[in-house]
Amino acid sequence: MKSGSDTEYKANLYLIAGRAYPLRLEFSKAKQGVDDSKNQKSKPPSAQASIVLLWRPPAGVLEPIPERNLMPHQGPEIWVCSASFPPDDRSAGWERATSISKEWHAAVTEANLETTAYVAAHLDELAGVRQTDRNPRPASGDPAGISFDARSAPIASPERTKKLQAFARQFVERAYRKPLSQEQVIAIERQFGSDQDPDVAVKRVVLLALQSPHFLFRELNVQPDGYDVASRLAFGLWDSIPDQELLRAAQTGGLKTPEQVRKQAERMLGDPRARTKLRDMLLSWARADHGLDLSKDPKRFPGFDEQVLADLRTSLELQVEEVINSSDADFQRLFLSDKVFMNGRLAKFYGVDLPENSGFTPVSLDPGKRAGVLTHPYLMTSFAHATESSPIHRGVFLARGMLGVSLRPPAEAVTPLAPELHPTLTTRERVALQTQVGNCMSCHGIINPLGFTLEHFDAVGRYRDTDNGKPVDATGSYRQRSGALIKLTGARQLGEYLAGSDEAHAAFVEQMCHYLTQQPIRAFGPDTANELKLAFVREKFNIRRLAVEVMAATALASREQQSAATLPNKR
């Protein structure tokens, strides 16, 4: 409803990734005459109005929400508490709570109070209380007793109290992710004594539930029961609590064998939350969020701005989503495809023939020269300096991320040699000059030869044949753990090697297990890593099937079976 003379209205909402949000926009047009003073006559009335729905995604810019992110489905109301929690430990490569600090406890208390206040403000709606449940006393001339005075405070009618008590019990069950014990049920009923205000009773129940270890910690049992297995599946694939089907399976003994776990995991992968989880896993595997400054020298790379960078990020996300959502979800395609998603803005910068207003579409960028995500312009931009490529950053990415090689941190921070200090040298030659000292080569003997294979791509991921006026030398090598030396020339040979490499397969399997379970793969036994790798090969490198196998191999494990590396009672 419009009031006053304002012609523009704005509102901001903070969205949390992985959740569906119901949106409602009301829009109307107003007709008005337009005076044309030049022709000294009035034009007929016309309708002039516009409306736009914008967002700013992570690592993106303010833009209209793309159609691919909109679904014409009714969604439930979602409430997100605003309490700020201290960051979890990421030293193992994934977020994981390893301690209970004073700051964490304070954040839990703040979030608890905020949640309880929301529940109290929406209590009747949440509990399904109707107006006829609120007033047990018949109004004058109303023997049925269904009249209700909206100005009055809630009345503790038996029917309303019964519904509030049922809501309180359901709230605690969902918070604890399993049925309540008889003692827990009695404790809830005790809050609803005959002389207790039922609204206050619900507040107490919510406060106690959200402060309980049964809510704050995923598991308290050494040997997991069916409900613990359901929670492992739900948190592993959805980052959420179990749905009703998982809870029914736990209740009926349907989560006791690996095959039963596989069946549930396969069902759960059809949920958008699982696809989001796998997409984010691949972005983590590709080190797409390592936090380096991605801005480039505008004199060296004119036109490379925030919009282009945001489009590149979207392009990478679409590329990994295409693989995940394909019928075979083939891991090897991540190394072998020369397709890159381009829109009109990216096409102009990277020299592709597309209409200026074109949406994202897969095109062959530099056919026969690219190697899937390895050479995606976003990653090539990420692992580069402001003006030059960075074989060291790229080599570390390949060694650690793609091949699972452990590299020691550098003994000291060293600033890269500035190009102007050696104006006749290529980037490869400067890197070789700086890292030729003996104690550097223990790691750079692995890093440099891998990074050099990507030297055909400049600091913004464009293909080049020359660097500083000299032909690019993209030869490199990798010494396998077996001792065999693999010689590589350029990105295509690198991609083909990684697609078929046992070491790359093992590294990916380990990272998938880490990401879904937030535990070291060794925590599930000395043979689990090899068994999962064999299953990955057997399933023809299907990423979705690997996620199913990871859950089947880990969801039933007891903490007694896990290694000392596993911390008990992790949040």
Task: Report the pLDDT value the prediction gives residue 97, as an integer from 0 to 100.
Answer: 72
| Model confidence pLDDT, tens digit, residues 83-126 | 998 988 777 666 777 778 899 999 999 999 999 999 999 999 99
| 173 and 194 part of one domain | yes
> Do residues 520 and 547 share a domain?
yes
| In a domain? residue 70 | no
pLDDT along the chain (571 residues), means of 10: 64 70 67 54 61 80 84 76 86 72 93 96 93 59 41 66 96 96 95 89 96 90 90 96 96 97 97 93 91 86 95 96 95 95 96 93 94 96 94 96 89 74 92 82 90 97 96 97 96 97 97 94 93 97 98 89 48 45
Statement to judge: residues 200 and 240 lie in one domain = no
212 and 115 housed in the same domain: yes
Q: What are phi and psi of 482, to 5 degrees?
A: -75, -15
**Residue 542 and residue 564 in one domain:** yes
Return the ∠ at Cα 464 (arms to 458 and 465), rounded to 5°: 135
394 inside domain: no
Beta-bridge partners for 244: none
Q: pTM (2 decimals)?
A: 0.86
Say how many domains are in the chain. 2
Whether 175 and 257 share a structural domain: no
The helix (run of H) or strand (run of E) holding residue 334 is helix 333-336
Q: Do the domain assignments include residue 35?
A: no
Helix (H) or strand (E) holding 237: helix 226-238
Give the model confidence (pLDDT) of 368-393 as tens digits: 999 999 999 999 999 999 999 999 99
Residues 164 and 183: their CA atoms lie apart, in Å, by 19
Same domain (yes/no): 165, 188: yes
Domain boundary among 216, 233, 252: 216
355 lies in some domain: no
Statement to judge: residues 231 and 177 lie in one domain = no
Angle, CA of 368, 290 and 294, to the nearest 5°? 70
Q: Which pLDDT value is given to residue 153?
A: 47
Q: Are residues 178 and 261 in the same domain?
A: no
Q: Which of 172, 192, 216 is the last residue of a domain?
A: 216
| Res 536: pLDDT | 98
Q: Is 408 left (phi over 0), alpha (psi -120 to 50) or beta?
A: beta
Predicted confidence at residue 136, as pLDDT, reads 52
Judgement on whether residues 119 and 173 belong to the same structural domain of the protein: yes
The one-character DSSP state at 278 is H
Q: Is residue 88 part of a domain?
A: no
The confidence score (pLDDT) of residue 44 equals: 60
Decide: 497 and 374 in contact? Cβ < 8 Å.
Answer: no
Q: Give the number of other CB atoms < 10 A from CB of residue 284.
A: 18
- Residue 307 belongs to a domain: no
Both structure tokens of 145: 């007793």
Show Cβ contacts of residue 538 under 8 Å, excluding neighbours closer than 6 positions.
none
- Are residues 205 and 232 both part of a single domain? no
How many residues in the chain?
571
- Which range of residues forms the domain containing residue 116? 102-138+152-216
Q: Domain check: are 212 and 128 in the same one?
A: yes
* Phi, psi (deg, nearest 5) at residue 542: -80, 120
Q: How far apart are CA 36 and CA 40, in angstroms?
A: 6
Q: Is residue 312 part of a domain?
A: no
Note whether residue 526 is domain-resident: yes
The token duo for 521 is: 């793969």
